[in-house]
Structure 1
Amino acid sequence: MTAAGGDQVSVRGGPWWWERRRSAALDVGLAALSALECGAEGVSFAREAGIPPVAGVVLGMSAGSVLAVRRRWPAAVVVVAVAVTPAEMGFLLSVVGLYSLAASESPRRVIGSLAAVSLLGTLIATLVRTGQAAPRDPVPESWVVPFASVTMAVGLTAPPLLAGLYVGARRRLMESLRERADSLERELQLLAERAEERAEWARDEERRRIAREMHDVVAHRVSLMVVHAAALQAVVGKDPEKAALNAGLVGEMGRQALTELREMLGVLRAGAGAAGAGARASSAVASDGVAVAEDGPRPGGTPAEPLPEGPGLDDLRELVGQSAAAGMAVDLSLHGERRSYAPEVEQTAFRVVQEALTNAHKHAAGARTRVRVAYRLSELATQVENEPPPGVGPVGSAGLPSGGNGLVGMRERVSALGGVFVSGPTDEGGFRVSAVIPSD
């Protein structure tokens, strides 16, 4: 029987050792026919042996009824059939017994041995009976009796034996195919579960990637806007020219932030449309089978849309200049010969410096900050270190909120490229952020 949504389970619905009631009915019916046959043949055997006919009938029916256990003990049925062969009993018992033995899971040597014994017993009994029944006058040819005996013995032994071997081999083949089908179904289920896990992981990774980009864009730009707005508020009545300059910087920061946000949202809208089309296609495929996407991180077989190409190392001077314009005392030093790195390596290094400067604006307003970049043959190293902020507290006066995700995002970015990220306070009371990113 098959449970809905579950594995196939074999249910035993027959009595004792029978798996089905119809199998029990078939074996009992064959045993009854064999018992009637052996009982009728037992009358002639009793007459020749000089025993009461009732004893011959009881002996024959007892031997024939053994056929009921042919599925449980097929070897015993063949042994009984061989034992009653000299009494000319058990034609049906011998044929069905040999078939059941050959079709069973018994060892090959047992099947071969009992088949040989049955063939030999049938040959001897047939040879004796044929010799006794042959007419004495005229004397038959010497080859007639052996030929007839061999032909009858082989005819009674070979067909049921070959038929049983064929049925047994076919049954084992079907069981093997069924097991393979069940194994394939389990493997497909595992693949489907793994595909779902990969799709869920890809969705989480995509969300984290977008969150990092949004954080980098919003946090840095808005932080500078807040700093310039505070400066604008402080000097608006004292120095109109500086107030106008700060207002222009605020507007420029806002325009840059809006531009980057529009680019990112445009990619997200395009990706959502492609993902919706892929989901519709995958739902159509799901009605026929299980679809497993091997190479695209998105469900539905649609590869992830790349985010717009971000800034690189050549934009560091502008980045540092924006922080300096906001009132930060920041120095940029470059070490080594300028090399070309992969875009994701340069963008990650830029984002690390950007986030570190943003944290310095938030938590160390007015502190001197040093930015170092080292161009190396096999890696790119960046370090941003700020001195202790002036004043009594560790937090500067800008009053900027912090979500605590900046350092986590930097670490994720660097680790994704196989780099090393270290951050922590310095002995002097400042804070240092270091990242080493492999060039490949």
Structure 2
Amino acid sequence: MTATGADQEAAGETTRGYWWWERRRGVALDVGLALVSALECALEGVEFAGDTGLPVPLGVLFGLLAGSVLVLRRRWPIAVVLVSIATTPAEMGFLMGIVGLYTLAASEVPRRITVVLTGMTLVGTLVVSYVRLRQSVDADADFGPGVWYVPLVAVFMSLGLTAPPVLFGLYVGARRRLMESLRERADSLERELSLLADRAEERAEWARTEERTRIAREMHDVVAHRVSLMVVHAAALQAVAPKDPAKAVRNAALVGDMGRQALTELREMLGVLRSGEPAVVPSAGRVPLASVGRAAAAAAAVAVEDGPRLDEVEALVAQSREAGMVVELSVEGERRPYAPVVEQTAYRVVQEALTNVHKHAAGARTRVRLAYRGAEVAMQVENGAADGAVADAGLPSGGNGLVGMRERVLGLGGVFVSGPTDAGGFRVSAVLPDAGVA
């Protein structure tokens, strides 16, 4: 009948130096019960010594030793019950028997042992009660009860001394086991909740990282191309201004238009990041952005529906031609619609590849190929060697363009290949399966 470690620590009463006791309160209770039991047995030992002819001190010593066994009830409840059964004929140890049966029933002792010892105690108490009552009735000649009196009273006495402590002990033991089970479940649930909270935090951090990466990729795709064209046009404007003022004016107008479009796109993106609401960026580079959370999912959905399409690739190539790049566009296969996310990704791959040509291969001849293949669409952007006669525009590179393209394509289950060609140029190839078919 011991409390759990959690209760002991909560109560601040945990001790480890008192043999099998774990709380001072348990020590005080058991020692007090043992003293009372020893005193009871010592008093009853006087009568036992008179009935058996033993010396009174010996009877008292026997009672003290027998009653003090109750101090072991938490450690060896079976031994306490056996001693109480052994002292039953001497009519001593009633308190020891009651407390011992209660402790035995409440402990983790196998039930068959509890049943056997309870039966032995019941039989022993019944026999002793019957014998003592019969002797009392026979000794009192004036008292003449019926034949039913002695057995009935003996049964009631034996049941009264045996059944209540056993039943109460069973109840306390069952309640203790239930409380321990509930406590274990609560601890397990708390651990699971803590684990779920950690996992949720990890997933949230992963989602934030993914969203930051997506936002950075979208801003790079939308702004880098247009700004690159602005730089190229500005360089061309600087070169032709002294020779052809009319062309310089047209180039200046193009630079102004592209700058305004770039500023509009940046303003839309920054507004989305501040408000967390999805927004659509106008022009061929429309891209919705959203903050981390529910707005991110909404923005992603808008990005898929309102992003650029494959039929806008011709306009994209035309912008590069206006900037002075020699670009050839060829389309193979029958045009057909694909899933929005596939068309948007294909557009971004072509856009980023052309931007890289502006940055790293100024004046190079470039070929853009689109191939519609039923359940998939393929694209390839290949440029020749840079024209040494054309001045480098000096565009900076963040080194994330190819990485972003690869992430987009592989994320849709496609194939992405990039690398230099034997002619000194560079080739970017990608194949995307139709998301609807997949």
Question: TM-score, length-normalised on structure 2?
Answer: 0.87
Q: Deviations over 1:171-227 (max 9, x none)?
A: 111111111111222222222222222221121111111111111122111111111
1:361–1:396 contact (8 Å) kept in structure 2: no
Counterpart Cα distance in 1 of 2:371 and 2:408: 18
Between the aligned partners of 1:76 and 1:374, the Cα distance in structure 2 is: 92
Which residue in 1 is equivalent to 2:32? 29
Equivalent in the alignment of 2:81:
78
Deviation per CA, 1:223-256: give whole Å up to 9, x if none. 1111111111111112223222322221222122
Which residue does the alignment assign to 1:16? 19
Q: How big is the alpha-carbon RMSD for the aligned residues of Structure 1 and Structure 2?
A: 2.6
Please say if 1:397 is aligned against 2:418: no
Which residue identity is paired with 2:58? A
**Aligned twin of 1:50:** 53
2:367 equivalent in structure 1: 370
Aligned with 2:137 (options 129, 134, 138): 134
Residue aligned with 1:134, SS: helix
Give the match's secondary structure for 2:21.
Answer: coil
Cα distance in 1 for residues equivalent to 2:183 and 2:198: 22
Asked if 1 retains the 8 angstrom alpha-carbon contact of 2:85 and 2:121, the reply is yes
* CA distance 1:10–1:379, change in 2 (3 Å): farther
How far did residue 74 of structure 1 move?
1.2
Whichever residue aligns with residue 25 of structure 2, its letter is R
| Displacement after TM superposition at 1:162 (Å) | 0.5
Residue 327 of structure 1 and its aligned partner are, at CA, apart by 1.6
1:328 aligns with 2:313: no
Unpaired runs of 5+ residues, structure 1, are 2-6, 274-295
Matches for 1:46-195 after TM superposition, within 5 Å: 46-135=49-138, 141-195=146-200
Aligned counterpart, 2:223: 218
SS in 2 for 1:122: helix
Q: Output one character per residue of 1:5-26: Cα deviation in whole Å (capped at 9) or x when no partner.
A: xx97987236222222112111
Seen in structure 2, the aligned counterparts of structure 1 residues 220 and 11 have a Cα distance that, compared at 3 Å, is: farther
- Check whether the contact 2:277–2:291 (CA below 8 A) recurs between aligned residues: no
- Decide whether the 8 Å contact of 1:320 with 1:330 is kept in 2: yes
- Given that 1:70 and 1:100 are in contact with CA atoms closer than 8 Å, whether structure 2 keeps it comes out as yes
C-alpha distance in structure 2 between counterparts of 1:135 and 1:381, whole Å: 116
What's the CA shift for 1:165?
A: 0.3
Give the Å deviation of 1:396. Answer: 7.3
**CA offset digits 1:277-301 (Å, max 9, x no partner):** xxxxxxxxxxxxxxxxxxx9946x6
Q: Which residue identity does 1:21 align to in structure 2?
A: R
Matches within 5 A, 1:318-357: 318-357=315-354
Shift of 1:132: 2.6
| Aligned-pair CA distance for 1:51 | 1.0
- Cα distance in 2 between the residues matched to 1:366 and 1:42: 120
Distance in 2, Cα, partners of 1:36 & 1:144: 32
2: CA distance, partners of 1:335 / 1:79: 99
Q: What's the offset of the Cα at 1:303?
A: 5.3
In the alignment, the residues of structure 1 paired with residue 70 and residue 114 of structure 2 have an alpha-carbon distance, to the nearest angstrom, of 17
Q: Secondary structure at the match of 2:276?
A: helix
What SS is found at the alignment partner of 1:19? strand
Q: Which among 195, 202, 205 is matched to residue 197 of structure 1?
A: 202
Cα distance in 1 for partners of 2:347, 2:258 equals 17
The one-letter code sitting in structure 2 at the alignment partner of 1:438 is P
SS at match of 2:20: coil
Give the stretch that moved more between structures: 430-439 or 25-34.
Answer: 430-439
Query: What corresponds to 1:306 in structure 2?
Result: 299
Cα-to-partner distance string for 1:44-76 (whole Å, 9 max, x where unaligned): 111112211111111111111111121121111
Tell me which stretches of 4 or more aligned residues in structure 1 moved more than 6 Å.
Answer: 7-11
| Contact 2:276 2:291 (8 Å CA) reproduced | no
Among all aligned residue pairs of Structure 1 and Structure 2, give the percentage whose two residues are the same amino acid. 68
Alignment-derived partner of residue 289 in structure 1: none
Letter in 2 for 1:403: G
Deviation at residue 361 of structure 1 after TM alignment? 1.1
Counterparts of residues 163-312 of structure 1 (less than 5 Å):
163-271=168-276, 298=292, 304-306=297-299, 309-312=306-309
Distance change >3 Å, CA 268–CA 12, structure 1 → 2 = same
Given that 1:198 and 1:297 are in contact with CA atoms closer than 8 Å, whether structure 2 keeps it comes out as: no
Decide which of 401, 405, 409 is 1:410's aligned counterpart: 405
Count of aligned positions: 410
Paired residue type of 2:374? L
Per the alignment, in what secondary structure is the counterpart of residue 13 of structure 1?
strand
Q: Say which SS state the counterpart of residue 212 (structure 2) adopts.
A: helix
Query: 1:387, 1:431 within 8 Å by CA — same for their partners in 2?
Result: yes
Q: Which residue of 2 aligns with 1:424?
A: 419
Task: Give how far 1:306 is off.
Answer: 0.8
Q: Secondary structure at the match of 2:381?
A: strand
1:77-101 deviation digits (Å, cap 9, x = unpaired): 1111111111111110000000011
Query: CA offset at residue 107 of structure 1?
Result: 1.6
Letter in 1 for 2:311: D
CA–CA separation in structure 2 for the residues paired with 1:419 and 1:47: 104
Please report how far the alpha carbon of residue 33 of structure 1 lies from its aligned counterpart in structure 2 after TM superposition: 0.6
> Is the CA contact 1:78–1:94 (under 8 Å) kept in the aligned structure 2?
yes
How far residue 42 of structure 1 moved from its aligned partner, in angstroms, is 0.9
Distance 1:381 1:9 in 2: 73
- Whether the 8 Å contact between 2:329 and 2:368 is mirrored in structure 1 is yes
Output the amino acid matched with 1:101: L
What's the TM-score, normalizing by structure 1? 0.86
Check conservation: 1:98, 1:161, Cα contact below 8 A. Answer: yes
